[in-house]
Amino acid sequence: MKKVVHITSVHQRYDTRIFQKECLSLRDAGYDVSLVVADGKGDEIFEGIKIYDVGKEKNRIKRLLFTSNKVVNKAKELNADLYHYHDPDLLIAARDLSLNAHLIFDSHEDFPALMLQRDYIPNILRKTLFRLAKRIESKSAKQMSGVVCATDNIRDKFLGYERVNAITIKNYPRLDIANQEQQSTKKEERTVCYVGGLTPIRGVKEMIIACKKANVKLLLAGPFDSEEYFKQMQQMPEWDNVEYLGYVKSTQVKERVYEKASLGLVLLHKAPNHTLSIPIKQLEYMSCGLPSISSKEVLFCKEVVEKENCGIVVNPLDTNEIAEAIKKIINNPPLAKQMSENAIKAAKEKYNWQSQEKELISLYKKLLK
């Protein structure tokens, strides 16, 4: 049995793409799968995946300085046939792993583009860091057996570098995330939801204000990017319409969030890394039969929602427009039902992980034959 190790210095151990999709699909395909993380929750074996934890550093600087080497060193100890890593932080540290095994980089986002929009990076440094990140990325990619990309645009960027084998494996949801044949009996009246990272650029403030205007409850699940931002949101007068669940494991999202809500929100602001992204939450909403209120600034959301008629596209900065869109669906059960059916049909036929895992397994078979 071939031994493969997935490595992350940033993501949670039960991350949707890394654990719930890639690791479990590889397990089912007959590989011996381990996962190295740095979340401070200890070692364990969960659903047949061996998870090794190197511990969590207390701040971003220490993580950048120490965690990358820690997870790579732990991965080396496991003596795998293939290493699959998921974070740009590891682009340099992971190079040594390619000496005795195959190495795959999983590009979830456009790493250099992120340098242009990180709030903690001073404006004067952003373009310089963008160029540096692009140079590191292109040089590192040439030493890899393959690059797995979450979107076609990221894949095309890597194919533009010399001698790089890049493929697209889109972050579509597993069909089994929802029981698509039955409407949940747990639906809470006039409730909408958002699941994901809670940052200003993802429209959290606009969600809270719009839901108050629409007189609906907002189920909010995910980690805030800082304690300060969390406190700012809690101090908003509209916060009394929010039920904050904190971080919810991907294995519990369906029961704790999607089964209770009547529609989902995807209100990403305009940003280089958002325009061409494929937000997993958009697809999870569809898989669970939730109509969506989606940002016009994300091309994938705009195209899918309009083509499949499974929600309404809005300006993510206009809380009045968002509120009116929420009310249009919430107050019109026949429309909501039709959008729900359209969403489920599209998820079944097109937008599901089962259509993507074939590409992942094919890549592994080619490299480990």
- pLDDT at residue number 182: 47
- pLDDT at residue number 184: 54
pLDDT tens track for 198-220: 999 999 999 999 999 999 999 99
Helix, strand or coil, per DSSP, at residue 104: strand
Helix, strand or coil, per DSSP, at residue 253: helix
CA dist 272 and 36 (Å) reads 30
Does pTM surpass 0.95? no
- pLDDT at residue number 185: 57
Task: Give CA separation, 194 vs 220, 236, 241, 368, in Å.
Answer: 5, 18, 13, 40
Q: Which stretches of the chain score pLDDT less than 70?
A: 176-185
Q: Of 102, 96, 100, which Cα lies nearest the Cα of 84?
A: 102
β-sheet bridge partners, residue 34: 5, 50
pLDDT tens track for 291-303: 999 999 999 999 9
Q: Which strand ranges, in their side-by-side order, compose the sheet holding 311-314? A: 242-246, 217-221, 191-195, 263-266, 292-295, 311-314
- pLDDT at residue number 113: 82
- pLDDT at residue number 176: 65
Going along the chain from its start, the domains and CATH numbers come out as 3-172+353-367 (3.40.50.2000), 175-349 (3.40.50.2000)
